[in-house]
Amino acid sequence: MTSLKLSFHALARPATFLRVAGVTCSILGILSVVLFAVGVPWALWLSPPDRLHGDLVRLMYIHVPAAWSAMMAYALCGLSGAGYWVWRHPVASLISEGFGEMAVLLSALCLITGMLWGKPAWGAWWVWDMRLTSMLLLFLLSVSVVLSYTLITPVALSRKVGAIVASVGLMNLPLISFSVTWWTTLHQPASIRWFAKDSMDMAMKMPLMTMALAFTTLTIWCALRCAMRRLQTFKDARGLS
């Protein structure tokens, strides 16, 4: 336990974090390019159309990975914010801000593609379905986190407020995940289940999982790059090592 704690403290040093994050970003960048190069043509052109919705189903290959990645980004944003309260280290705050920005972009993409699906499939651009409403709440929480980190001064106060908003918003994630189980909603239930047989054919599941991995690697790459850029500026300004 002591060695693990020391490892975390060592990683929190700006120079160490920049070095480790740089190597990680190099690996994730290559993986992201490869996964998108394989996943995009596979999902948008080569995968079969849906029996009911035809080619409209191809929105799923963007919508679902965007939703998963938005939730992951916000989870890491909130956990990093909570970590700032524990260790009071700027690295945790910068990571939280980076993932918060990605949560904004990905939740917006999820909502937009969901609306593009909803109009032809449901007859309406938007309904106050619990899944849609909780995802909209995730977008608003993510925007609030980013604005807290960006607009509030002084910096010490912005980190505290941003960490609070990010941490509190974690309570919304179970609501998104289980909304289609806890309530009768217009949104379809999960097609992929971890502990039961799912209803998705492998011809659709494989490109979907490829796109999900591509979104995941891109999300982590972008968040780390944002954190690295801000940390380098902070390090140069303070003369830290």
What does the pLDDT read at residue 238? 54
Closest of 165, 36, 177, 38 to residue 93, by C-alpha: 165
State the pLDDT at residue 156: 87
**Helix (H) or strand (E) run with residue 132 in it:** helix 130-151
In order of 102, 126, 212, the CA distances from 112 in angstroms are: 15, 10, 17
Q: Give residue 126's pLDDT.
A: 84
Instruction: Tell me, yes or no, if the pTM score tops 0.75.
Output: yes
Is residue 158 left, alpha or beta, with left meaning phi > 0 and alpha meaning psi from -120 to 50? Answer: alpha
Contact 17, 231 (CB under 8 A): yes
Q: Are 222 and 100 in contact (CB under 8 A)?
A: no
Instruction: pLDDT tens for the chain, 241 residues: list them.
Output: 455 455 555 666 778 888 888 999 999 999 999 999 999 999 999 998 877 778 888 999 999 999 999 999 999 999 999 988 887 788 889 999 999 999 999 999 999 999 998 888 788 888 888 888 899 999 999 999 999 999 998 988 999 999 999 999 999 999 888 876 665 665 666 666 554 566 677 888 899 999 999 999 999 999 999 999 988 876 655 544 4
Residue 184: predicted pLDDT: 63
The pLDDT of residue 7 is 54
pLDDT at 240: 46
